[in-house]
Amino acid sequence: MHCKQWIFDMDGTLTDSMTVVWEGAPDALLRRYGRTPRGDLRATLLNMGMQEGAQYLIREYGLPLTEESYFSVMREVIAELYETVELKPGVRTMLAKLQAEGARMCICSNTWAEQCRTVLTRLGIAQYFSFIVEAQGVLHKSHPEVFFECMSRLGGADPAACAVCEDAVYAAATAHKAGYYVIGIADRTSAADEPEMRRICSQFVPRWDMLDWTRV
- As a whole number of Å, the end-to-end CA separation of the chain is 5
Domain 5-16+86-215 - what CATH class?
alpha beta
C-alpha span between 84 and 49 (Å, rounded): 22
Question: Over pLDDT 90: what percentage of the chain?
Answer: 84
**What value does the CA radius of gyration of the chain take, rounded to a whole number of Å?**
17
- DSSP characters for 121-185? HHTT-GGG-S-EEE--GGG-TTSTHHHHHHHHHTT---GGGEEEEES-HHHHHHHHHTT-EEEEE
Q: Does the pLDDT value for residue 139 go beyond 90?
A: no
Kindly indicate whether the domain formed by 18-82 is annotated with CATH number 1.10.150: yes
Q: Where are the domains of the chain?
A: 5-16+86-215, 18-82
pLDDT score at 46: 74
Cβ 8 vs Cβ 181: under 8 Å = no
**Model confidence over 146-159: pLDDT tens digits?**
999 999 999 999 99
pLDDT bin (cut points 50, 70, 90) of residue 137 is confident
pLDDT digits (tens, 9 = 90+) for 25-52: 999 999 999 999 998 898 888 778 778 9
At residue 19, does pLDDT exceed 90? Answer: no
- pLDDT tens digits, 178-188: 999 999 999 99
Would the CATH topology of 5-16+86-215 be identical to that of 18-82? no
pLDDT at res. 51: 86
Query: Residue 87 contacts by C-beta under 8 Å, 6 or more apart in sequence?
Result: 14, 15, 16, 123, 125
How open is the CA angle 142-148-152, to the nearest 5 degrees? 155
Q: What is the pLDDT of residues 67-91, one digit of tens each?
A: 999 999 988 999 999 999 999 999 9
- pLDDT tens sequence across 196-216: 999 999 999 999 999 999 999
Residue 178 · residue 148 · CB < 8 Å: yes
Task: Give me the pLDDT at residue 47, please.
Answer: 75
